[in-house]
Chain A
């Protein structure tokens, strides 16, 4: 029987600073067997360790259509993320995973319009899905990406996100920062994410078929709280509005009891849930 807590070893190949406190690491598993067996889908997560400090849960930030490495993007917040920031290219970190369910791209997304909404560091899991969809562009209807952050300085993947619109992908992109936080040279939108979402969907031409469309929302709890009603009023069905929960986890495999919401294990039944599923859970998020 296997020790599920024994991590695989990965080498840091590349470090990209997204903002002053958000960093992306590109990792390569050291063992050829591990590389072969590590097959993931957009939405799944891993547990990444700084030895001596502990493990943290991050979504796998690159889509399966861009294999060869594992990408994680994290904000420096606690003990492990502070330790991970100290590491250099060539250093080793531990990896467990992939764990959890995934966005049902093949089963649900195909053939539909898809609206992506990411706030702050929450754009990282959403990005894994829109990059996946862009890599398979022909399989979907309209694609619309809305990214938001408090300030321009807190906006991970800002340049990359803006550049997507001009890259021949047939995708609508809107980026916004909170009102009152903009500088005079900010060239993009100013407004709260739910308001920008409403405006972009209502003004879209051709129109987004909201009754059949899929929406993915990830960001701070307060953003999700105010975005879900807007999606609902725009005609999105709760069964096709997805989010990925960020509950604290330890084991990642449905044993340790930490991520539980009601009878659900976020690490096994999630992290991807529909709004309809969230409505059925106790208000414990």
Chain B
């Protein structure tokens, strides 16, 4: 099949073509304030995914790896009204359904660590019963991912089984080439829907690749190398066997319980349901929540299963690296490193899981010996 290519100076044309085909476009854009200083390096925090129109195409910023905020909100909105309730004087209450507002969408410029979270979260949102809002947004949204050309010390996708050019969760992967073009790899049937938007690579500058799914960065392109940070093999069993270890106290000592790690996380999905309004007129909303908050598990009686930050921090790590894998067969983490970068207290999940991995390795060795 003819290889596809994208000339990056034609990005505006591509996005316009997609918009003309009826898609809402979501892309990483630099926030306005970071544009005021052309000489200063743009801070990573300034790049966020947002709905873009023609006036924004020039602001699309594909340099952040990953962006300060990922694509989660386009599948699980930070706040979403799900039920409307009305009760007029002298009449009985009425409730009405609020359908998810999700037009056909193309997310352009996601990173592999953000896209990889989507099939992970499919498991929780579709086991036992389908979450309508999640499933609908997943169906409506095509994800075009760009392989990472750079990484930083917080990146650890390769330690979780991912890669800077993984196609997991993506419908197309763009691989930057030495000549400034991007090789386009379509993924699966859904990816074929994107073929119409890309040009055939007549110049043949990007050699077609046989295997677009291994995550092997190969020779072609400018894909970064994310070195392995830890060996995950012993992590789950160590967590399962060391619920009361003092490591949890040490790990959580600096944690403020602010929840920034959970909000930034592409796989954290815990939510709250709250009523906003009055007895006469209200909306039931589904809002992001965080297991790091004290009242997350607090019973009406005052009893709290996890009253201390140590317990709440342990819950976050254990959920990601032991409980979720036990339940759904995959790690609830993609190694994006965002939690490490956003933590105002310098708590590093990477460092803590690294310590757990080392301890797990020792215990595995003991078990083998």
B196 at the interface (CB under 8 A from A): no
Contact A56 B300 (CB under 8 A): yes
Given known pairs A4-B131, A52-B279, the reply for A220 and B303 (CB within 8 Å) is yes
Closest 4 CB pairs of A and B: A257-B270, A77-B300, A52-B282, A92-B93
Cα distance A78–B83 in the bound complex, in angstroms: 22
The interface centre, meaning the residue of A1, A78, A283 with most chain B CB atoms within 10 A of its CB, is A1
Contact B299 A246 (CB under 8 A): yes
The answer, among B135, B291, B297, B298, for a CB contact under 8 Å with A1, is: B135
Q: Which of A104-112, A140-148, A150-158, A258-266 contacts B (4 or more CB under 8 A)?
A: A258-266
B195 at the interface (CB under 8 A from A): no
A71 at the interface (CB under 8 A from B): no
Contact B92 A284 (CB under 8 A): no
Q: Whose C-beta in chain B lies nearest to the C-beta of A250? A: B273
In chain A, residues 25-81, which have Cβ atoms closer than 8 Å to a Cβ of chain B?
30, 49-56, 75, 77-78, 81
Cα distance A248–B93 in the bound complex, in angstroms: 26
B318 contacts which chain A residues (CB < 8 A)? 262, 282
Q: Whose C-beta in chain A lies nearest to the C-beta of B282? A: A52
Q: Which of A5-13, A159-167, A199-207, A270-278 contacts B (4 or more CB under 8 A)?
A: A5-13
A77 contacts which chain B residues (CB < 8 A)? 300-301
Min CB–CB distance B320 → chain A (angstroms): 11
B156 at the interface (CB under 8 A from A): no
Contact A81 B277 (CB under 8 A): no
Contact B301 A9 (CB under 8 A): no
Complex A-B: 24 CB contacts under 8 Å:
A3-B98, A3-B132, A5-B273, A5-B286, A7-B95, A11-B92, A49-B275, A50-B279, A51-B85, A51-B93, A51-B282, A55-B275, A94-B95, A220-B301, A248-B298, A248-B299, A248-B300, A250-B271, A250-B289, A253-B129, A254-B128, A257-B124, A258-B289, A283-B243
Contact B128 A257 (CB under 8 A): no
In chain A, residues 232-281, which have Cβ atoms closer than 8 Å to a Cβ of chain B?
246-248, 250-251, 253-258, 260-263, 268
Q: Which of B13-21, B167-175, B322-330 contacts A (4 or more CB under 8 A)?
A: B322-330
Contact A258 B270 (CB under 8 A): yes
A5 contacts which chain B residues (CB < 8 A)? 82-83, 273, 284, 286
Q: Whose C-beta in chain B lies nearest to the C-beta of A54? A: B275
Q: Whose C-beta in chain B lies nearest to the C-beta of A4? A: B129
Min CB–CB distance A222 → chain B (angstroms): 9
> Chain B 231-275, CB within 8 Å of chain A: the 1/0 string?
000000000000110000000000000000000000001111111
Min CB–CB distance A221 → chain B (angstroms): 6
The interface centre, meaning the residue of A11, A52, A263, A282 with most chain B CB atoms within 10 A of its CB, is A52
A285 at the interface (CB under 8 A from B): yes
Cα distance A38–B135 in the bound complex, in angstroms: 26
Given known pairs A246-B299, A258-B296, the reply for A3 and B97 (CB within 8 Å) is yes
Cα distance A245–B277 in the bound complex, in angstroms: 31
B140 at the interface (CB under 8 A from A): no
Min CB–CB distance B137 → chain A (angstroms): 12
Given known pairs A9-B92, A220-B303, A260-B319, the reply for A52 and B85 (CB within 8 Å) is yes
Q: Whose C-beta in chain A lies nearest to the C-beta of B92? A: A92
Min CB–CB distance A224 → chain B (angstroms): 11
A282 contacts which chain B residues (CB < 8 A)? 243, 318
Contact A53 B326 (CB under 8 A): no
Cα distance A49–B275 in the bound complex, in angstroms: 9
A256 contacts which chain B residues (CB < 8 A)? 270-273, 289
Cα distance A254–B327 in the bound complex, in angstroms: 12
B305 at the interface (CB under 8 A from A): yes
The answer, among A6, A50, A248, for a CB contact under 8 Å with B95, is: A6
In chain B, residues 89-137, which have Cβ atoms closer than 8 Å to a Cβ of chain A?
92-95, 97-99, 124-125, 127-132, 135-136
The interface centre, meaning the residue of B272, B273, B301 with most chain A CB atoms within 10 A of its CB, is B273
Min CB–CB distance B291 → chain A (angstroms): 7
Contact A247 B92 (CB under 8 A): no
Given known pairs A250-B273, A251-B273, A260-B323, the reply for A52 and B278 (CB within 8 Å) is yes
Chain A residues within 8 Å of B, Cβ to Cβ: 1-7, 9, 11, 30, 49-56, 75, 77-78, 81, 83, 92, 94, 220-221, 246-248, 250-251, 253-258, 260-263, 268, 282-285
Q: Whose C-beta in chain B lies nearest to the C-beta of A252? A: B273
> Chain B 303-336, CB within 8 Å of chain A: the 1/0 string?
1011000010001001100111011000000000
Contact B132 A2 (CB under 8 A): yes
Contact B127 A9 (CB under 8 A): no
B213 at the interface (CB under 8 A from A): no
B87 at the interface (CB under 8 A from A): yes
Contact A52 B277 (CB under 8 A): yes
Q: Whose C-beta in chain B lies nearest to the C-beta of A268? A: B128
Contact B270 A247 (CB under 8 A): no
A54 contacts which chain B residues (CB < 8 A)? 273-275, 284
Given known pairs A1-B136, A92-B92, A284-B306, the reply for A255 and B124 (CB within 8 Å) is yes
Cα distance A256–B277 in the bound complex, in angstroms: 22
Q: Whose C-beta in chain B lies nearest to the C-beta of A222? A: B303
Contact A247 B305 (CB under 8 A): yes
A53 contacts which chain B residues (CB < 8 A)? 275, 279
B306 contacts which chain A residues (CB < 8 A)? 284
B85 contacts which chain A residues (CB < 8 A)? 51-52, 94
Min CB–CB distance B241 → chain A (angstroms): 11
B303 contacts which chain A residues (CB < 8 A)? 220-221
The answer, among B94, B272, B279, for a CB contact under 8 Å with A250, is: B272
B299 contacts which chain A residues (CB < 8 A)? 246-248
Q: Whose C-beta in chain B lies nearest to the C-beta of A94? A: B95
The answer, among B83, B274, B311, for a CB contact under 8 Å with A3, is: B83
The answer, among B95, B135, B291, B326, for a CB contact under 8 Å with A263, is: B326
Cα distance A50–B291 in the bound complex, in angstroms: 25
Min CB–CB distance A256 → chain B (angstroms): 5
